[in-house]
């Protein structure tokens, strides 16, 4: 099934200068970039985006990190894009990520893990709408 998913190259990925490497990995794996922009999230925007985690002990630290510098937000489209993107990213904790996944190559810790990807169709819809309007997304 052709799906769309939200991807974020987090501030550590932008600072390391690996935007191109990450986008190349998406494209080589059949994921098309159908929307893209660089944003510097405010604390409020980061808290809104990660609202499902607001009771977690890492919420403050995660939202501080997400507004520590610019990120690249993208919509990726392709066959089974949601699961495909999660496979390419690797496990949340870079220590557990399969070899050659993005988090294995570039991630530093469970928090500073370079990329975010939606985890399910409903989440993808909400997350895409959080950053992009319909006319900013192509196909």
Interface with ligand CMP, residue 58, by CB under 6 A:
yes
Distance set, CA 68 to CA 11, 15, 21, 62, 114 (Å): 7, 10, 21, 10, 13
Interface with ligand CMP, residue 130, by CB under 6 A:
no
Question: What residues numbered 8-27 form the site for ligand CMP, per CB under 6 A?
Answer: none
| Catalytic status, residue 116 | yes
Task: Select the residue interacting with ligand CMP from 6, 23, 62, 75 (CB under 6 A).
Answer: 62
Interface with ligand CMP, residue 92, by CB under 6 A:
yes
Minimal distance, residue 135 CB to ligand CMP, in Å = 26
Q: How many CB atoms lie within 10 A of CB 84?
A: 19
5: which strand partners? 76
Give CA–CA dist 100/27, Å, rounded.
Answer: 15
Catalytic residues: 116
Sites of contact with ligand CMP (CB under 6 A): 58, 62, 92, 110-111, 113, 116
């Amino acid at each position: 099934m052709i799906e769309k998913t939200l991807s974020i190259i987090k501030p550590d990925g932008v600072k390391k200068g690996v935007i191109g490497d990450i986008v190349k990995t998406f494209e080589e794996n059949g994921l098309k970039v159908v929307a893209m922009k660089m944003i510097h999230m405010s604390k409020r925007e980061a808290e809104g985006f990660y609202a499902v985690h607001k009771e977690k002990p890492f919420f403050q630290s995660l939202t501080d990190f997400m507004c520590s510098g610019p990120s690249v937000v993208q919509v990726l489209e392709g066959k089974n894009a949601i699961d495909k993107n999660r496979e390419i990213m690797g496990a949340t904790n870079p220590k557990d990520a399969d070899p050659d996944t993005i988090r294995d190559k570039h991630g530093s810790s469970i928090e500073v893990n370079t990329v975010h990807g939606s985890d399910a169709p409903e989440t993808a819809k909400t997350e895409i709408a959080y950053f992009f309007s319909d006319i900013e997304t192509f196909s």
